[in-house]
């Protein structure tokens, strides 16, 4: 079993300001413990290999500069490049913390920053998996105009993962935003088409869902912050929402 876990930058940021900004070492240590537990549990049912695609929204997203982009002050590519650099900050910090917490981990980047992290190649990732390491993926796809959600699906396909585990703040996909609409109901299973076409469902960007649908890559949406949830998702337990 090989899974690709997508974690947004906000989930690595501090809760103190309510916006998930910066990098929260305590959260990263907790995450390392959850991954360690997931790998230990998996020993009974055969090895689980984990790739993690990290976002960068706790530092920079291309969209932060939409005004300046509209006024031609900053180019879209530059804005997106800064977002990809933000993901590299997250990935390298997370890599160190994982290793310090006893989780063997490699960081590979789709943006070439050789002084900071090795370039991603399929073969390198395979070799790290064979050695029992978690592979943290930095730099998204390495191309502008998409997000790390699309990167997650893209890399899950390239790495032949069984599914994408998309970590969110809520425990799955709802018929509407559960924070603002008390009538919102959790959906256990939806199709790619429903997830793309229903404007109230905003769990992942459409490009990511489209690519997943084209290649039949299942996506499990689940609540990251509950103890034991990553292990449950990795073990195939039905929590959250499955998009397939």
Positions in the binding site for ligand UDP (CB under 6 A): 8-10, 55-57, 61-63, 80, 83-84, 86-87, 140-141, 143-144, 146-149, 151
CA 117 to chain centre: 18
Place of tokens 């984990």: 50
Cα-based torsion angle of the residue sequence 1, 157, 205, 242 in order, rounded to the nearest 10 degrees: -30
Q: Give 141 or 241: the residue with its C-beta nearer to ligand UDP.
A: 141
Q: Give 39 or 139: the residue with its C-beta nearer to ligand UDP.
A: 139
Q: Give 39 or 80: the residue with its C-beta nearer to ligand UDP.
A: 80
Nearest-angstrom CA–CA distance, 143 and 166: 21
CB of 131 to ligand UDP, least distance (A): 26
> In whole angstroms, how far apart are CA 148 and each of 40, 143, 153, 207, 238?
28, 10, 9, 11, 24
CB of 236 to ligand UDP, least distance (A): 24
Q: Give 111 or 187: the residue with its C-beta nearer to ligand UDP.
A: 111
CB of 26 to ligand UDP, least distance (A): 18
**Among 158, 42, 145, which Cα is nearest to 137's?**
158
CB of 154 to ligand UDP, least distance (A): 8
């Amino acid at each position: 079993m090989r899974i690709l876990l997508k974690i947004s930058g906000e989930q690595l940021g501090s809760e103190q300001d309510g916006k998930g900004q910066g990098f929260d070492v305590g959260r990263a240590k907790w995450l390392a413990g959850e991954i360690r537990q997931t790998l230990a549990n998996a020993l009974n049912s055969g090895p689980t290999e984990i790739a993690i695609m990290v976002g960068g929204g706790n530092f920079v997203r291309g969209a932060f500069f939409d005004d300046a982009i509209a006024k031609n002050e900053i180019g879209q590519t530059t804005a997106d490049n800064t977002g990809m650099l933000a993901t590299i900050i997250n990935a390298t910090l997370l890599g160190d913390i994982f290793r310090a917490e006893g989780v063997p981990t490699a960081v590979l980047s789709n943006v070439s920053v050789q002084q900071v992290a090795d370039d991603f190649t399929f073969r390198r990732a395979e070799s790290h998996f064979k050695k029992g390491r978690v592979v943290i993926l930095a730099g998204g796809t390495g191309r502008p105009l998409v997000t790390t959600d699309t990167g997650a699906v893209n890399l899950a396909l390239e790495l032949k993962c069984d599914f994408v585990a998309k970590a969110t703040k809520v425990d799955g996909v709802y018929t509407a935003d559960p924070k603002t609409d008390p009538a919102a109901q959790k959906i256990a299973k939806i199709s790619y088409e429903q997830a793309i076409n229903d404007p109230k469902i905003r769990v992942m960007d459409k490009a990511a869902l489209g690519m997943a649908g084209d290649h039949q890559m299942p996506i499990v949406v689940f609540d990251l912050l509950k103890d034991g949830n990553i292990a449950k998702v990795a073990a195939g337990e039905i929590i959250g929402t499955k998009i397939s």
